[in-house]
Chains A and B, each alone.
Chain A
Amino acid sequence: MSEVSAVLTLAHRDLIKLLRDRARIVSDFAFPLIFIGILGTSLQSGFGPTSNINLLHFVFTGVLAQTIWQSTALGVISLLMDREQDFSQEIFVSPISRYSIIFGKILGESLVAFPQFIAILAFGIILGVPFTLEKIVALIPAALIIAVYGGAFGVLVLSRLDNQRQANQIFPFVMLPQFFLAGIFNPIQNLPWFLDILSKIAPMRYAVDLMRDVYYAGGPSVPIFDLPTNLAIISAEFAVFMVLGTAGFVRAERNR
Chain B
Amino acid sequence: MIHLEGLTKRYKKAERNAVDGISFDVRAGEFFALLGPNGAGKTTTISILTTTLSPTSGAATIDGHDIVREASAVRRIVGIIFQRPSLDMNLTAEENVRFHAILYGLYPYAPSYGLMPVAYREQVQGLASLLGIASEIQKPVRTFSGGMRRKLEIVRSLMHRPKVLFLDEPTAGLDVPSRRTLWDYLRTIRRESGTTVFLTTHYLEEAEEADTICIIDEGKIVSFGTPERIKSDLVQEYVLVDAEDRPRLREELARLELRSDGDGPFRVHVDSRHTHAALRAIDTPLTLVRTHMPSLEDAYLEIVGKVSE
Contact = CB atoms under 8 A, between A and B. Distances in A.
Contacts of A89: 52, 80, 82, 86
A97 B105 CA distance: 12
Contacts of A12: 99, 109, 111
A95 B72 CA distance: 5
Contacts of A10: 103
A20 B104 CA distance: 25
Contact of A4 (B72, B82, B109): B109
A92 B103 CA distance: 10
Interface string A144-161: 000000000000000000
Contacts of B75: 93-95
A198 interface: no
Contacts of A13: 88, 90-91, 95, 99
Contacts of B54: 254-255
Given A5-B105, A5-B108, A253 B72 contact: no
The SS class assigned to the B binding surface is: loop
Nearest to B73: A95
Interface in B84-102: 84-91, 95, 99-100, 102
A150 to B, nearest CB: 22
A91 interface: yes
A134 interface: no
Contacts of B52: 89, 92-93, 253-254
B12 A256 contact: yes
A9 B104 contact: no
B103 A91 contact: yes
Interface residues of A, number: 30
A6 B102 CA distance: 6
Interface in B251-293: none
B53 interface: yes
B171 interface: no
Nearest to B108: A5
A64 to B, nearest CB: 28
Nearest to B12: A256
Contact of B90 (A6, A8, A17, A95): A17
Interface in A60-109: 85-87, 89-97
A118 interface: no
Interface string B105-128: 101110100000000000000000
Interface string A220-256: 0000000000000000000000000000000001111
B102 A5 contact: yes
A94 B103 contact: yes
B229 interface: no
A9 B90 contact: no
Contact of A93 (B80, B85, B99): B80
Contacts of A86: 82, 84-86
Contact of B87 (A16, A87, A91): A87
Contacts of A97: 72
A93 B88 contact: no
Given A10-B103, A13-B95, A256-B12, 18 more contacts: A6-B102, A8-B109, A13-B91, A16-B90, A16-B91, A17-B90, A89-B82, A89-B86, A91-B103, A93-B78, A95-B72, A95-B75, A96-B103, A96-B105, A253-B52, A254-B52, A255-B54, A256-B53
